[in-house]
Amino acid sequence: MPRSSSTLTPDDRLGTAQPAGGGPGDVSRRGTSSAGRSRPTPGATLGLGIATIYLSLLVLIPLAAVLWRSAEGGPGDFWQAMTTPEALSSLKLTVGAAVIVALINLVMGTLIAWVLVRDNFPGKAVVDMLIDLPFALPTIVAGLVLLALYGPGSPLHVNIAYARVGVVVALLFVTLPFVVRTVQPVLLELDKSMEEAATSLGASSAATFRRIILPNLLPAMLSGTALAFARAMSEFGATVLISGNIPFQTQVSSVHIFGQIESDNVHGAAVVSAVLLVIALVVLVSLDVLQRWGARRG
């Protein structure tokens, strides 16, 4: 590489049209990389192309198909299918449960991540591994296990099955890893000297947490929470067993959608799915905006 033989002056870095230094061989090269900042290199173009095709095939086209299907009958039909009493009550329950689950995850997930990073205790590695297990377990099995433990025949004499609280517990189980696994690496990388400096300057531990640690963790906490929220809204396997599926009481949207499909009402299923997608999108975007806003302020 000829570039290695030359040194870049600040002017070069700013990308002036005619670089002063450097051998003739690297003029053109540097010209491409600096002047064409918006024009990607061939390698990057290939990567971008592959990523776009992959995402399109896997995500964009299927999601667009759902939206397309839901819009088939026009806005009137869409509204009607969305506002049937069953659909509305299942949506309310689903979104409500997802919000509660996301908030609990935000607090408990951060706490668990904190304990796993900052504290030392015997069996820590085992606990660390346990966190991922809800991902590995088919969620229907999770529902079955929760039902056996916290259902009518509970050996612990805790019966939360067939009620809304059962839905929340099932969702908590399934979404546990999200916040823990997003916060943990950030906490691990967090420079302890910042905290030490704050303490040595006389900040209380509460102030250190609020002013130093929290702002650093917040982006990770929020993105983990957003993931947990989105996952909670779509969960089927864990909730279908433990909720009891009574329409208007414990039937979540995913089960409602399943019912529509079983009853050959694909349009109704697509409409409720589209509503879930839009809610998830709005939440993901607004958390992202919140995060950026927080980053600018902090």
Q: How far is the CB of 262 from other proteins (least distance, A)?
A: 5
When asked if residue 122 is in the footprint of other proteins (CB under 8 A), the reply is no
* Cβ neighbours, 10 Å, residue 277: 17
* Cβ neighbours, 10 Å, residue 80: 14
Site map (CB under 8 A) of other proteins, residues 174-193, x = contact: --------------x-----
The piece of 7-15, 33-41, 144-152, 225-233 that touches other proteins (CB under 8 A) is: 144-152
- Whole-number Cα distances in Å, 31 to 10, 54, 82: 15, 32, 55
When asked if residue 115 is in the footprint of other proteins (CB under 8 A), the reply is no
- Cα distance between residue 181 and residue 224, in whole Å: 8
When asked if residue 234 is in the footprint of other proteins (CB under 8 A), the reply is no
Which helix (H) or strand (E) element contains residue 26? none
Chain center to CA of 141: 23
Q: How far is the CB of 265 from other proteins (least distance, A)?
A: 5
When asked if residue 288 is in the footprint of other proteins (CB under 8 A), the reply is no
Q: Binder to other proteins among 97, 113, 161, 167 (CB under 8 A)?
A: 161
**Per the structure block, which two tokens stand in for 103?**
């908030």
Q: Binder to other proteins among 20, 136, 156, 206 (CB under 8 A)?
A: 136
When asked if residue 134 is in the footprint of other proteins (CB under 8 A), the reply is no
Which residue's CB is nearer to other proteins, number 169 or number 226?
169
CB 80 within 8 A of CB 71: no
Among 160, 144, 141, which residue's Cα sits nearest to residue 152? 160
Q: Binder to other proteins among 33, 34, 216, 249 (CB under 8 A)?
A: 249
**Per the structure block, which two tokens stand in for 117?**
């990073």
Looking at residues 30 to 69 of the shown chain, list those that interact with other proteins (rule: CB under 8 A): none
What are the start-end ranges of the H helices in 56-161? 61-70, 74-82, 85-118, 124-130, 133-136, 139-150
- Contacting residues toward other proteins, per CB under 8 A: 84-86, 89, 125, 129, 132, 136, 147-148, 151-153, 161-162, 188, 240-241, 244-249, 251, 255, 258-265, 268
